[in-house]
């Protein structure tokens, strides 16, 4: 490489032969401004040496029509000699700065920038494919894989109150959803008078994010959740609306239970047997009772599958004793098919809505605002009044029995205690019925 060329810059550039180069200036920041003639014209470079190796960085083409004292490129992107020198000095300064920062000079800094830009683009692309909608759908699929019946309710709430109500938020990368996004969703429901739905949406959203965040530390959570890159749960910054948490059970009173028992006590056929089985087993959840398999009817018990509970926990088997009439009715319902409660010979199980509809049809107008779910809370209220402990009622109706002792050490099935409670329930129903009949006769 020639030293800095003598003569005017124009003369030096004009004298260049194709494929040759000349150094025009040595720069105080390091390196020099070089000019080189190539097949398409003349191009400026900043040339420098690093670790005994010469390198060049292109600046741009020489524009002989540019004002000689101009310090910026022309509109066509060409450079005067002075403009090229300014650019070379900037490159030299950037190189020195990058060396001082341990980035390996200008080339290393540019490679780092390109790598960062590539990673940012890949991250953005990954986020576009992992939206809030994708996360919530994946969470519902996860619940379903665990046998959780709540996946149906979660899907419905997400569809109505996220995907349809907030389509822009649903399309956001899940890791970019903020507390403000969540609050807006909850506030819209609350202001529409749907406070309980707002609380349910908050619970399901929070659980979805909790599962995704937990995938980083809990091996039992599917690896697919790692791709959402969730580190913060935007729901944690919100509060539950406790004013909307009023119980909606409205239990049947003892008189209403007596009326209901009187209506189904001698009701013939599958309808009567199914309704009595529901009441005399303690008002089990309808959607669990209808899924009892015929094979689980043995030794005077049936086994229900309780799919409620915390995410990550498998469904729990719930053993219920059959006392007196309940056993007779269960045996009468047992056919040849798979399911105990069925209207097609056991091929498919009875729908919970069918059983609830039968109960409402039998009651008619005899009990105000009757709903089948009131039977369950009515039974618990009646047993509580009869001094059956909360613990036994919890085991009988498969409530969420909490605590370390219960979760890890107590393997007792409480079958005898459940049977005693159900025998007491039957006696109470008969006593209530007899008392009312006696009162009516005396009148």
pLDDT along the chain (443 residues), means of 10: 58 89 90 92 93 90 90 90 93 89 78 77 66 95 88 94 96 93 95 92 95 91 91 91 69 91 93 93 91 91 78 73 91 89 89 92 93 92 92 84 41 83 91 51 45
Query: In the chain, which segments carry CATH 1.10.443.10?
Result: 254-442
- The separation between CA 93 and the C-alpha centre of its own chain, rounded to angstroms, equals 50
Give me the pLDDT at residue 405, please. 35
Half-sphere exposure of 245 (CA within 13 A, CB side): 8
Report how far residue 332's alpha carbon sits from residue 334's, in angstroms, rounded to the nearest whole number: 6
Give me the pLDDT at residue 432, please. 56
Start-to-end CA span in the chain (Å): 126
Q: Which residues pair with 321 in a beta bridge?
A: 301
Q: Which CATH number fits domain 254-442: 1.10.1040.10, 1.10.287.370, 1.10.600.10, 1.10.443.10?
A: 1.10.443.10
Exposure string for 221-235, b = 16+ CB within 10 A, e = fewer: beeebebbbbeebbb
Residue pair 42/62 in contact (Cβ under 8 Å)? The answer is yes
Find the length of the chain.
443
Which own/partner pairs from 394-400 qualify as long-range (CB within 8 Å, at least 24 positions apart)? 396/282, 396/320, 396/421, 396/422, 397/282, 397/283, 397/284, 398/284, 398/285, 398/288, 398/304, 398/306, 398/308, 398/316, 398/318, 400/308, 400/309
Integer CA distances (angstroms), 37 to 15, 67, 82, 175, 241, in order: 10, 21, 18, 52, 75
Half-sphere exposure of 270 (CA within 13 A, CB side): 16
Q: Nearest CA to 135 among 96, 164, 169, 112?
A: 169
How big is the CA angle at 333 (ends 329 and 336), to the nearest 5 degrees?
Answer: 150
Phi-psi region of 19 (alpha: psi -120 to 50; beta: other; left: phi over 0): left
The H or E element spanning position 225 is none
Q: Which residues pair with 358 in a beta bridge?
A: none
Give me the pLDDT at residue 117, please. 76
Give me the pLDDT at residue 243, please. 74
Q: Which residues pair with 25 in a beta bridge?
A: 33
132-244: in CATH 2.60.120: no
Report how far residue 419's alpha carbon sits from residue 396's, in angstroms, rounded to the nearest whole number: 9
Query: In the chain, which segments carry CATH 1.10.150?
Result: 132-244
The pTM for the full model equals 0.56
Give me the pLDDT at residue 439, please. 40
């Amino acid at each position: 490489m020639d030293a800095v060329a003598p003569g005017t810059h124009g003369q030096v550039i004009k004298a260049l032969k194709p494929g040759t180069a000349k150094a025009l200036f040595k720069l105080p920041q390091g390196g020099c401004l070089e000019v080189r003639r190539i097949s398409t014209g003349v191009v400026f470079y900043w040339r420098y040496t690093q670790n005994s190796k010469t390198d060049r960085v292109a600046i741009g083409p020489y524009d002989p029509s540019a004002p000689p004292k101009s310090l910026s490129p022309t509109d066509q992107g060409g450079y005067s000699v002075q403009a090229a020198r300014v650019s070379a000095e900037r490159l030299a300064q950037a190189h020195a700065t990058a060396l001082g920062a341990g980035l390996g000079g200008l080339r290393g800094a540019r490679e780092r920038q390109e790598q960062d830009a590539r990673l940012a683009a890949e991250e953005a692309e990954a986020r576009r494919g992992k939206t809030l909608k994708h996360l919530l759908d994946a969470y519902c699929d996860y619940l379903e894989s665990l046998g959780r019946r709540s996946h149906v309710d979660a899907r419905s709430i997400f569809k109505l109150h996220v995907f349809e109500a907030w389509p822009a938020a649903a399309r956001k990368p899940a890791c970019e959803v903020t507390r403000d996004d969540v609050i807006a969703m909850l506030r819209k429901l609350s202001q529409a008078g749907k406070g309980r739905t707002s609380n349910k949406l908050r619970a399901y959203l929070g659980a979805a994010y909790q599962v995704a965040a937990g995938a980083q530390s809990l091996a039992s959570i599917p690896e697919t959740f790692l791709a959402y890159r969730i580190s913060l749960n935007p729901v944690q910054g919100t509060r539950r609306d406790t004013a909307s948490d009023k119980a909606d059970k409205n239990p049947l009173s003892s008189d209403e239970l007596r009326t209901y028992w009187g209506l189904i006590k001698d009701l013939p056929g599958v309808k009567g047997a199914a309704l009595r089985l529901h009441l005399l087993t303690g008002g089990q959840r309808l959607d669990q009772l209808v899924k009892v398999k015929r094979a689980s009817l043995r030794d005077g018990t049936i086994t229900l599958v309780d799919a409620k509970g915390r995410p990550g926990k498998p469904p729990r088997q719930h053993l219920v004793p059959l006392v007196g009439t309940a056993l007779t009715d269960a045996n009468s319902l047992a056919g040849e098919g798979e399911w105990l409660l069925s209207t097609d010979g056991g091929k498919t199980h009875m729908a919970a809505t069918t059983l609830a509809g039968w109960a409402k049809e039998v009651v008619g107008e005899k009990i105000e605002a009757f709903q089948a779910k009131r039977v369950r809370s009515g039974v618990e209220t009646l047993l509580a009044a009869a001094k059956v402990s909360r613990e036994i009622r919890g085991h009988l109706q498969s409530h969420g029995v909490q605590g370390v002792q219960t979760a890890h050490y107590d393997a007792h099935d409480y079958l005898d205690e459940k049977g005693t409670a159900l025998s007491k329930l039957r006696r109470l129903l008969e006593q209530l019925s007899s008392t009312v009949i006696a009162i009516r006769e005396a009148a």
